[in-house]
């Protein structure tokens, strides 16, 4: 396989991973209810959220998920530069903006929930 084909394959793999994880972050409640253990939920389980996935998402999981997506977006942007396709740059900018809009719509509620959870006694 030549270098350009290899970079396109890397880009496609990176884009697929990013999209699946973004979906998992957006639909974690549905996945948890259906007992679908996505990478996002498995990370919460690994970090020992116990039975309280909501608290983990509010306290740290959502921020971790966003950080992971932003890191992977940086990887895709680097590949896009190597590929030199301006349409990919437009597409990535669109997806990045979409993620920011999602963050802006969810973060205030999760921040408030995390504050309320801090006020509850342990084990509540």
pLDDT in tens, the chain (124 residues): 677 889 999 999 999 999 999 999 999 999 999 999 999 999 998 887 776 788 889 989 999 999 999 999 999 999 999 999 999 999 999 999 999 999 999 999 999 998 998 887 765 5
Domain that holds residue 73: 7-35+59-119
Report pLDDT for 73: 98
HEC secondary structure over 13-70 = HHHHHHHHHHHHHHCHHHHHHCCCCCHHHHHHHHCCCCCCHHHHHHHHHHHHHHHHHH
Report pLDDT for 123: 55
- Domain presence at residue 49: no
- Domain presence at residue 93: yes
- Domain presence at residue 43: no
| Domain count across the chain | 1
- Domain presence at residue 112: yes
- Domain presence at residue 26: yes
Q: Name which of 102, 88, 115, 78 is nearest 27 in CA terms.
A: 102
């Amino acid at each position: 396989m030549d270098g350009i084909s290899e970079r396109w394959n890397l880009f496609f793999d990176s884009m697929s991973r990013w999209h699946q994880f973004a979906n998992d972050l957006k639909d974690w409640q549905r996945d948890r209810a259906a007992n679908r253990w996505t990478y996002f939920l498995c990370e919460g389980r690994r970090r020992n959220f116990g039975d309280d996935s909501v608290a983990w998402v509010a306290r740290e999981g959502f921020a971790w998920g966003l950080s992971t997506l932003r890191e992977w977006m940086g990887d895709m942007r680097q590949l896009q530069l190597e590929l030199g396709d301006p349409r990919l740059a437009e597409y990535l900018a669109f997806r990045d903006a979409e993620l920011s809009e999602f963050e802006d719509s969810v973060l205030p509620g999760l921040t408030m929930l995390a504050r309320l959870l801090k006020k509850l006694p342990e084990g509540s």
